[in-house]
Amino acid sequence: MSGTSSGLTPPADAVAPVRHPDAPAPGEPLGAHYGQCFGCGGEQPHGLRLEARAGDGVSVTAEFTVRPAHQGAPGLAHGGVLATALDETLGSLNWLLRTIAVTGRLETDFVRPVPVGTVLYLDAEVTAVAGRKIYSRATGRIGGPEGPVAVRAEALFIEVKVDHFTEHGRPQEIRAAMDDPDQLRRVRAFEVNP
Ligand SMILES: CCCCCCCCCCCC(=O)SCCNC(=O)CCNC(=O)[C@H](O)C(C)(C)COP(=O)(O)OP(=O)(O)OC[C@H]1O[C@@H](n2cnc3c(N)ncnc32)[C@H](O)[C@@H]1OP(=O)(O)O
User: Minimal CA–CA distance to 99: which of 178, 33, 180?
Assistant: 33
| Distance from residue 118's CA to the centre of ligand 1 (Å) | 31
Domain 16-160, CATH homologous superfamily name and number: Hotdog Thioesterase (3.10.129.10)
Name residue 149's beta-bridge partners: 141
This model's pTM is above 0.90: yes
Which residue's alpha carbon is nearest to atom 31 within ligand 1? 158
Which residue among 93, 158, 190 is best mutated to probe the pocket of ligand 1, counting the most ligand atoms within 8 A of its Cβ?
A: 158
> Is the distance from the beta carbon of residue 88 to the nearest atom of ligand 1 less than 6 Å?
yes
| Distance from residue 117's CA to the centre of ligand 1 (Å) | 33
**Domain coordinates in residue numbering, the chain:** 16-160, 161-194
* Other residues' Cβ atoms within 10 Å of the Cβ of residue 49: 19
| Distance from residue 68's CA to the centre of ligand 1 (Å) | 32
pLDDT tens for each residue of 104-160: 999 999 999 999 999 999 999 999 999 999 999 999 999 999 999 999 999 999 999
With a threshold of 0.95, tell me whether the complex ipTM lies above it.
Answer: yes
C-alpha span between 27 and 53 (Å, rounded) = 6
pLDDT tens for each residue of 39-58: 999 999 999 999 999 999 99
> Is the distance from the beta carbon of residue 76 to the nearest atom of ligand 1 less than 6 Å?
no
